[in-house]
Amino acid sequence: MTLMITLVLDRRYACNSVADDMKARPMNGEEAISEAELLLHCLRGSLLSPPPDTNWPALLTLAENHSVLPFIHRALAANGAQMPDSFLSAVRDCIASTEMLALELERLLDGFAQHGIEVVPLKGPVLAEALYGDVTMRSCVDLDLLVRVDDFSQAEKLLIRAGWVASSPADDYQRKFVRNGVLVELHFGIASPRVFPFDLDGMWRRVESGTFRGHPLKAMSETDRALYLLLHGLKHGYGKLIWVLDAARALAAMKECSPREFLERARSQGLEQMVYIGCAMVQEVFPDHISEQLSAALAESPETMRLARLRVEKLLAGEAGSGRGPEMWEFYLQTETETGKRWRRRLTFFIPSVEDYRWTARHGVPRRLALLVRPFRVLAKHGFRRAWRTVFPPST
């Protein structure tokens, strides 16, 4: 599977300008490895120095595409590798960008705290500090902040008064804001309820008080964090290695319950298939991060794991699309093996979205008719063939 992963990296993530240079080179007395293999070795903690003929622009492209540049730099530095100035400059820029976002997060946390709004930062600097012990070890390009649904309107107003500009309308779980080139995604849900039946109320009951550099915040429990990161990775088709690594680190750090209890919690929330897929992905990419106890618990459901591994192969082959849109929805339906749950998931596809309600308002259509309008808007956007395949995908 390692060979398959490196081939996927070469095919899916290399820029066209460097793709040819990422092919295996002549042996020259040593085993030749591609930049994709080198990347994986670094992330897995292998003691491996880069070959003399390493294509540094290709390695940099892969590391940046997967948001793992700080990891690669640290691993190479630990092995005493001599890195070119262009590579080191990119690392410094990445660290500076992350520090800038961390400072912005501090200001946002203080602003919300002054108005009594509880905030759970998702991913970003807080996750980097929690999972990796260093804010700069996980590069990020935006800030994701979760607030209670009852506080969402007030939080929006606070951002707008502080100079943030809404860059998109609110959807069914978030709204995006921009200021001075910084993007903030303000969430009132973990993800679209059409896709993830996440226990949001339970998560809020289990949050813990904490701080980030002395600024107050709320943090998910270890179990909820692991569930969230597994689902977040699948939501995006595990298109970046950082999402697999996040899930792996969260699983390894989970101490508040046993692996069997964790899987049971996922099962009780209707998330069993997605969690098994995420764990199967971690097993393939970062096998050392899966404990023997978790592996044993997963193995107790051999058919579920078999299907999960088949889904992982589809993800690695790019058959689930980019992680968004009809391709991923089709993939979600294929992961659900229970007929009743599969039909419930289909029906959520026809629940009117925030945009559907906005459309009815703009066109003078009564709000109560949005349910009837939704199918026609779906057909207009995707066409009959795509919409049908999305809701009734072929079995795998």
The yes or no reply on domain 102-220 and CATH 3.30.1380.10 is: no
What is the pLDDT, as a whole number, of residue 208?
95
What is the spatial distance between Cα 205 and Cα 275, in angstroms, rounded to a whole number?
22
What is the pLDDT, as a whole number, of residue 373?
83
What is the pLDDT, as a whole number, of residue 103?
96
- C-alpha distances (whole Å) from 73 to each of 78, 81, 125 are 9, 9, 18
What is the pLDDT, as a whole number, of residue 16?
32
Mean pLDDT by 10 residues, the chain (396 residues): 48 36 37 77 84 90 93 92 95 95 96 96 94 91 95 95 90 90 93 79 95 95 95 88 95 93 92 91 90 95 90 74 51 62 69 74 83 81 74 65
C-alpha radius of gyration, the chain, whole number: 22
The neighbour count for residue 160, using CB atoms within 10 Å, is 13
| 3-class state of residue 258 by DSSP | coil
> Which residue is associated with the tokens 């699983």?
251
What is the pLDDT, as a whole number, of residue 323?
47
Task: Note the Cα 136 to chain centre separation in Å.
Answer: 18
What residues does each domain of the chain span? 2-83, 102-220, 222-318, 338-391
Task: Note the Cα 121 to chain centre separation in Å.
Answer: 14
Dihedral of alpha carbons 25, 29, 31, 35, sign? negative
Q: What do you get for the CA distance between the two ends of the chain, in Å?
A: 20
What is the pLDDT, as a whole number, of residue 331?
57
What is the spatial distance between Cα 149 and Cα 167, in angstroms, rounded to a whole number?
20
Per-residue tokens: 313: 């192969």
Question: How many residues does this entry show for the chain?
Answer: 396
What is the pLDDT, as a whole number, of residue 87?
96
| 3-class state of residue 168 by DSSP | coil
161 closest CA partner among 231, 112, 223, 123: 112
